[in-house]
């Protein structure tokens, strides 16, 4: 039985779901971000208990098809941007269509209808969050970050970063260093 779980977007969330399944004695064949496949179908009582265990951790069991599809779209994007070593070189629209086996126009229309933003805007927001992480780690320079996240240029990355955050990437990095310095002075 496939179960779709909302807000399951990190490895910590996977551990919480794994612990809940094991506490209930439920066996599963796969456990990925946003989805778990159990060996046997759950009874209504087991489903209710599992929902309760998930809700304690801020997770939610999805049951309507639109919500499940939206969550799958979000999970694919989050995995692609935050957890993949290399972002696919194909267009995101092609990547999403192939991953989810739906026409991109259909995915885009449902996502926009439910979330109130386009898939592209959701991707940009997550790419900028990834840029922030990489800037904070201070391991890569802006050119390397723009290459890693497939921006056409550093200028393009900088423009998107400023549009979303209101700051330039270099100013964002300086702020972090300034904050670190202030903490060391205490």
What CATH number is associated with residue 177?
1.10.10.60
Mean pLDDT over residues 124-148, rounded? Answer: 90
pLDDT in tens, 58-71: 998 888 888 889 98
Say which DSSP state 30 is in: E
Strand partners for 4: 35, 62
* pLDDT at res. 163: 95
98 occurs within a structural domain: no
Of the residues 36, 63, 90, the one at which a domain ends: 63
For residue 3, the domain's CATH number is 3.30.70.100
What is the C-alpha to C-alpha distance for residues 37 and 72, in angstroms, rounded to an integer?
14
179 has pLDDT over 70: no
The mean pLDDT of the chain is 88
Residue 180 has pLDDT above 80, yes or no: no
Residue 72 domain-assigned? no
Mean pLDDT of 134-161: 90
| pLDDT of 177 over the 80 cut | no
| CB 77, CB 9: distance < 8 Å | no
Structural domain of 128: 122-185
Does residue 173 fall inside a structural domain? yes
Integer CA distances (angstroms), 15 to 1, 78, 96, 117, in order: 19, 17, 26, 30
Q: How high is the pLDDT of residue 183?
A: 46
30 occurs within a structural domain:
yes
Q: How much is the pLDDT for 181? A: 55
Domain annotation covers residue 78: no
The last residue of one of the domains, among 25, 44, 63, is 63
Statement: the pTM of the whole predicted model exceeds 0.75: no
- Judge whether 8 lies within some domain: yes
Burial class (CB in 10 A: 0-12, 13-18, 19+), 83: exposed
pLDDT (tens digit, 9 = 90+) per residue, 35-92? 899 998 889 999 899 999 999 989 988 888 888 899 899 989 998 888 877 777 778 8
* Measured distance CA(3)–CA(38) in Å, rounded: 8
Task: For residues 26-37, give the mean pLDDT.
Answer: 90
CB burial readout 48-67, b (16+ within 10 A) else e: ebbbebbeebebbbbeeeee
* C-alpha distances out from residue 11 to 17, 79, 124, Å: 10, 11, 22
**Phi, psi dihedral angles at 108 (to 5 degrees):** -65, -45
Q: How many domains does the chain have?
A: 2
Q: Across residues 122-134, what is the average pLDDT?
A: 93
Q: Are 156 and 150 in contact (CB under 8 A)?
A: no
Give domain status of residue 81, yes or no: no
């Amino acid at each position: 039985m496939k179960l779709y779980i909302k807000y399951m977007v990190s490895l910590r969330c996977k551990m919480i779901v794994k612990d809940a399944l094991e506490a209930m004695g439920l066996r599963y064949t796969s456990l990925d971000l946003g989805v778990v496949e159990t060996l046997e179908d759950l009874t209504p009582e087991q489903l209710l208990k599992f929902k309760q265990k998930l809700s304690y951790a801020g997770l939610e069991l999805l049951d309507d098809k639109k919500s499940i599809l939206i969550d799958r779209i979000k999970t694919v994007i989050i995995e692609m941007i935050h957890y993949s070593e290399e972002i696919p070189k194909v267009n995101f629209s092609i990547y999403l269509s192939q991953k989810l086996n739906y026409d991109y126009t259909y995915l885009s229309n449902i996502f926009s209808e439910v979330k109130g933003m386009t898939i592209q805007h959701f991707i940009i927001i997550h790419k900028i969050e990834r840029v922030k992480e990489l800037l904070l780690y201070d391991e890569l320079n802006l050119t390397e970050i723009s290459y890693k996240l497939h921006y056409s240029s550093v200028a393009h990355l900088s423009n998107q970063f400023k549009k979303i955050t209101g700051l330039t990437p270099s100013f964002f990095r300086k702020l972090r260093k300034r904050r670190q310095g202030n903490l060391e002075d205490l």
